[in-house]
Amino acid sequence: MTAGPAPLAPRRVVLVCTGNTCRSALAEALLRRALEARGVTDVDVSSAGTGAWEGAPASEGAYLVGLESGLDLSGHRARLLTGDVVSQSDLILTMARHHRARVLELGAEGRVHLVGDFAGRSDGSPEVADPFGADLDVYRQTRDELAELMAMVAARLAEERRRARG
Tell me the C-alpha distance between 95 and 92, whole Å: 10
Tell me the C-alpha distance between 34 and 49, whole Å: 22
pLDDT at 1 over 50: no
Q: Where are the domains of the chain?
A: 12-161
pLDDT at 88 over 70: yes
Q: What is the pTM of this model?
A: 0.93
Instruction: Place 8 in a pLDDT band, splitting at 50, 70 and 90.
Output: low
Q: Secondary structure of the chain in the HEC alphabet?
A: CCCCCCCCCCCEEEEEECCCCCHHHHHHHHHHHHHHHCCCCCCEEEEEECCCCCCCECCHHHHHHHHHCCCCCCCCECCECCHHHHHCCCEEEECCHHHHHHHHHCCCCCCEEEHHHHHCCCCCCCCCCCCCCCCHHHHHHHHHHHHHHHHHHHHHHHHHHHHHHC
Is the model more confident about 67 or about 162? 67
Instruction: Give me the active site residues, please.
Output: 17, 23, 130
Instruction: Place 100 in a pLDDT band, splitting at 50, 70 and 90.
Output: very high
Which CATH code fits 12-161?
A: 3.40.50.2300
pLDDT at 55 over 70: yes
Cβ pair 147, 30 in contact under 8 A: yes
